[in-house]
C-alpha cells in the first residue's frame, strides 16, 4: 500500500510539472514590414521595417496566437505543421484562421546564423507581414 501511495504522489507530481510547461509563450516585437501582390500576381518588395512594440502570445493549450497591436489580431490554430530544424534555421509553421475568418499561414523562424534572430511571418494569399520578435522574459 505504501508503494501505491508513493506511485500516486509521483504521478501527481509528473502531471503537475507537465501542466506547468503548457504556459503561453510571449514575444515582443521590435519592428514590422509587409509586402503585397501586384496586379500581375507577383510579390512586391518588402516595405521598410517600422518600429512596432507589441506583445505576441502563442498559447498552444488554447490553439491561439494573439498579436496585441492597436487592432488586436487573433489567429485560431487549425493545424500544427512539421517543424524544420537544421544548422541555419528553426521553422515552426501553423495553419490558422484569423478573427475575420480568413485563412493564413503563420511561421515562426529562428535564424541561427544571425545570432538566433527571430521573426514571425503572417502569410495571406494577397499580403504578408513579418515582425522581428524576441523573447519576453
Domain range for 109 is 22-135
Asked if the structure places residue 73 within a domain, the reply is: yes
Q: Could you tell me which of 46, 86, 52, 95 has the C-alpha nearest to residue 71? A: 52
Q: How far apart are CA 133 and CA 53, in angstroms?
A: 9
Domain tally, the chain: 1
Average pLDDT over residues 59-64: 94
- The whole-number pLDDT of residue 81 equals 94
CB burial readout 117-127, b (16+ within 10 A) else e: ebbbbbeeeee
Please report whether residue 17 resides in a domain: no
15 in a structural domain? no
Tell me what pLDDT residue 14 has. 45
Residue 12 in any domain: the answer is no
Q: pLDDT, tens digit, for every residue of 24-58?
A: 999 999 999 999 999 999 999 999 999 999 999 99
Angle of CA points 121, 122, 128, to nearest 5° = 95
In a domain, 75, yes or no: yes
Amino acid at each position: 500500500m505504501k508503494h501505491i501511495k508513493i506511485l500516486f504522489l509521483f504521478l501527481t507530481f509528473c502531471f503537475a510539472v507537465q501542466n506547468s510547461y503548457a504556459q503561453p509563450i510571449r514575444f515582443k516585437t521590435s519592428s514590422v514590414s509587409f509586402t503585397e501582390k501586384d496586379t500581375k500576381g507577383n510579390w512586391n518588395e518588402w516595405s521598410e521595417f517600422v518600429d512596432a512594440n507589441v506583445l505576441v502570445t502563442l498559447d498552444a493549450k488554447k490553439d491561439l496566437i494573439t498579436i496585441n497591436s492597436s487592432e488586436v489580431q487573433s489567429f485560431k490554430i487549425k493545424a500544427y505543421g512539421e517543424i524544420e530544424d537544421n544548422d541555419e534555421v528553426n521553422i515552426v509553421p501553423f495553419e490558422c484562421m484569423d478573427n475575420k475568418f480568413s485563412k493564413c499561414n503563420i511561421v515562426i523562424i529562428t535564424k541561427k546564423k544571425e545570432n538566433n534572430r527571430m521573426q514571425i511571418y503572417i502569410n495571406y494569399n494577397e499580403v504578408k507581414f513579418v515582425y522581428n520578435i524576441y523573447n519576453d522574459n
